[in-house]
Structure 1
Amino acid sequence: MQDPALFLRALFDRAVEVADPMQSLAAHLPPKPKGRLIVIGAGKASARMAEAVEAAYGPCEGLVITRYGYARPCKGIEIVEAAHPVPDAAGEAATKRMLDLLDGCGEGDTVLALISGGGSALLTAPVDGITLAEKQALTDDLLASGAPIGDINGIRKQISAVKGGKLAAAAYPAQMLALMISDVPGDNPGDIASGPTVGDPGDAARAIALLKQWGVTPSDSIARFLESGGAPLAPDDVRLSRVTNVIYAAPSQSLEAAAEIARAEGCDVRLLGDALEGEAREVAVAHAALALDIQKDMKAGSAPTLLLSGGELTVTKRGNGIGGPNAEYALAMAVALEGVDGIDAIACDTDGVDGAAEVAGAIISPATLTKAKDKQIDPQAALDTNDAHGFFAKIGDQVVPGPTLTNVNDFRACLIQPTSLL
């Protein structure tokens, strides 16, 4: 087998490649409508999705909001960049313009919505009485709390004028097709970008309970709004009756593409799941223990084993370091493995951004702790302060692909070889 680091990076690159909208979206487009077509969208992959739409349809009318640095050249669809993971004024202004664009849509019009992960921050329209600053503070607190994405989105939907199906409702009675790239565990359409085209079965009472569960105290305005009933839109609302939601790319497809490469290299591939959730460092310790158990039972001549997993892990903020769930997973796994020979791993976010850093994640090897020792870096101290990105930057083992223009969430691969082969 080739160098483990190169092999693991090739698996990650393949996982990203198969989720590239330019490779996968066109097959899911219907014939171009004869009437008015409006293209809208939000997410880290949305500009690339818009580019793919125009490659198939030609120039189109529309507006798409993506993350700073993720814009793509389009001839008709306007691409606006805004902040992620915490929303900003650019996203708020662009969302208002999107709603204005949808205002007045008729029954003969068609709206094509391009939705991908990251849209929760990029589509920003707090309900009346709640300011952008209040929403920014709430987002910061939720991201630091360790809450899973489903819970975070359940709260955000209740204070938004676009999430939880309300963007689609603004286009009624137009026909709407929403094409989605899933970045959420379980591939629930209502969780992708907080479901702007999907009604929400939750309510304000649940949002209040979730805030208490995760120890987040909202502003007085948000608390009062939730106590008054929030802003739910039921899934059976008539304004959603002309919407078709289609998930056309998902984490499972990317993991299987990586698995195909690994099997061709003679690996025994074990899929641990494409919807894993939980505290990054805790999942890492569990995976390290599994890897050690597998290696212990290997004999000379045993095929390498590859553990693959996806989903969305979380980090509870304990310190002021620079980190993200994938880098923290990698660091916690390296600490747990204690430099054992024959086990290498990669953990990266397929959108190229782990947390708020412009870094996808990291690769670990039996040499990880030795490199740290040589540079007088304490891995446990870095883990204690959530400084995983700082740790891997210092030892040179970050994965920095730049904007990948897609997003099917976390990608983790652990390669286990018998020590007798090393």
Structure 2
Amino acid sequence: TPKPQDGVFERVFNRIVASNMVSLTAAKKYAEEQGLNTIVLTSRLRGEARHVGIVLASILEEIYHSNFPIKKPAAILAGGETTVTVVGNGRGGRNQELALSSSKIIRNLHGTALASIGTDGVDGVTDAAGGIVDAHSYSRAERLGLKVDDILARNDSYSFFEKLKDYIYTGPTGTNVNDIVVGVVL
């Protein structure tokens, strides 16, 4: 294995051409052009996906009820990479689990939505890049006989998004700058 000072590296130059923060900054610019007050919370998001989803949904709930930390119409953006402790035998990934857990908080917050997406186009062992939920996702699932807590317990978020047809599919993108979460309150 060559060492950093090895002559083989004399003509090697590395440049970072993309990052999670670059992606979030571009998303912020776009959201603002659409008339949304927008804040980038972090590009270093981490933690258990289902817990992070609840925290991000709680921020959306705060905006919905009190126009804080930003006024409606608003978008929050976060990036990074969460984890899932698998205890069930279902299918899914960290982005789908994050979005699914947020549905418990944003249900009935009309005009509110959250999407979580893997920039590589792959989320867990599924063909989805992530999932999107809104104020009606939870009740739509209930009408189909789906129980969000049971689905989360089985780590089976893909079945939720597949049945609601709310998974995000991009196909493999050939790049990866971690995950991006977008929350909107109109």
Structures share fold, TM-score greater than 0.5: yes
CA shift for structure 1 position 356: 2.1
Deviations 1:96-124 (A, max 9, x none): xxxxxxxxxxxxxxxxxxxxxxxxxxxxx
Q: Matched residues in 2 for 1:383 and 1:303: separation?
A: 30
Give the match for residue 315 of structure 1. 84
Q: Superposition pairs for residues 371-390 of structure 1, below 5 Å? A: 371-390=140-159
Answer whether contact 1:266 1:303 (CA < 8 A) is retained: no
CA shift for structure 1 position 238: 3.3
Q: Matched residues in 1 for 2:22 and 2:118: separation?
A: 15
1:306 equivalent to 2:75? Answer: yes
1:407 to 173, 176, 183: 176
CA shift for structure 1 position 241: 4.9
**Structure 2 unaligned regions, length at least 5:** none
Answer whether contact 1:339 1:368 (CA < 8 A) is retained: no
**TM-score, with structure 2 as normaliser:** 0.90
Give the match for residue 391 of structure 1. 160
AA at the equivalent of 1:356: V
Q: Matched residues in 2 for 1:355 and 1:270: separation?
A: 28
1:339 equivalent to 2:108? Answer: yes
Give the match for residue 15 of structure 2. 246
Q: Matched residues in 2 for 1:275 and 1:378: separation?
A: 31
**TM-score, with structure 1 as normaliser:** 0.41
Larger Rg belongs to: 1
Answer whether contact 1:359 1:398 (CA < 8 A) is retained: yes
1:259 equivalent to 2:4? Answer: no
Answer whether contact 2:41 2:78 (CA < 8 A) is retained: yes
Over 3 Å counting, the alpha-carbon distance change for 1:246 and 1:293 in structure 2 is: same
Answer whether contact 1:271 1:307 (CA < 8 A) is retained: yes
AA at the equivalent of 1:400: Y
CA shift for structure 1 position 345: 1.0
1:359 equivalent to 2:145? Answer: no
Give the match for residue 149 of structure 1. none
AA at the equivalent of 1:376: G
Over 3 Å counting, the alpha-carbon distance change for 1:290 and 1:240 in structure 2 is: farther
Q: Matched residues in 1 for 2:58 and 2:140: separation?
A: 22
Greater relative contact order structure (CA < 8 Å, 6+ sep): 2
Q: Superposition pairs for residues 168-317 of structure 1, below 5 Å? A: 169=2, 236=4, 238=6, 241-242=9-10, 243-298=12-67, 303-317=72-86
CA shift for structure 1 position 278: 1.1
AA at the equivalent of 2:163: K
CA shift for structure 1 position 316: 0.7
Over 3 Å counting, the alpha-carbon distance change for 1:241 and 1:305 in structure 2 is: same
CA shift for structure 1 position 270: 0.7
Q: Matched residues in 2 for 1:307 and 1:329: separation?
A: 15
CA shift for structure 1 position 251: 1.3
AA at the equivalent of 1:365: D
Give the aligned length. Answer: 183
**Structure 1 unaligned regions, length at least 5:** 1-165, 170-234, 418-422
AA at the equivalent of 2:42: G
Answer whether contact 1:324 1:357 (CA < 8 A) is retained: yes
* Overall identity of the aligned pairs, in %: 34
AA at the equivalent of 1:238: D
